[in-house]
Amino acid sequence: MINEKLAKAINEQINKELYSEYLYLSMQAWFANESLDGMASWMNAQAQEEHFHAMKFFNYLVERGARVILKTIEQPTVDFESPLQIFKMSLEHEQFVTKSINELMDLAIKVNDHATRSFLQWYVDEQVEEEASVDKIVNMLQRIGDHGHGIMMIDRDLGSRTFTPPAEEE
């Protein structure tokens, strides 16, 4: 049986991952309305990835005999200004998630739960990738500019992203 405090913290993390999915869907909607279809598609792949993150935690709790308690998902912002502002917000959000994953790891270490430490290592590594990919887009937008011809090039480039659940990659 998993430590009660740790199970509670993982339930809170499920909520954060589902909120992330919601936030990226809200960003997708903004891009779709702006006819930036590549960026809308990138956000959809990101939202699917967040759903996968949530369900991975969900299944882990079930596997460890703990209850999954779903809470209300906060409404994400709908007022965005520009592609650059959105990707900067995404980066800040991912930094917040990284901090949260690190705190979960600290707790797993504190309560000596080796199985959860091993499980969480996947998320620790995943967050490095998550932050790096968004940081790259922020840099591109800052260099090329987030309007005119440059934005159309970046939009086309980002539209090629798809999400494949890791288990299917093996």
Confirm or reject binding of residue 130 to ligand FEO (CB under 6 A).
Answer: yes
DSSP state of 146: S
Confirm or reject binding of residue 97 to ligand FEO (CB under 6 A).
Answer: yes
Among 2, 17, 57, 146, binds ligand FEO (CB under 6 A): 17
Confirm or reject binding of residue 146 to ligand FEO (CB under 6 A).
Answer: no
Site string for ligand FEO, 30-69 (x = CB under 6 A): --------------------x--x----------------
Give me the least distance between CB of 67 and ligand FEO, in Å please.
Answer: 22
Which residues have CB under 8 Å from 80's CB, separation 6+?
27, 30, 86, 89
Task: Indicate the Cα dihedral angle 68, 2, 129, 51, nearest 10°.
Answer: -10
Give me the least distance between CB of 84 and ligand FEO, in Å please.
Answer: 19
SS (H, E, C) 74-119: CCCCCCCCCHHHHHHHHHHHHHHHHHHHHHHHHHHHHCCCHHHHHH
Which residues are at the interface with ligand FEO (CB under 6 A)? 17, 20, 50, 53, 94, 97, 130
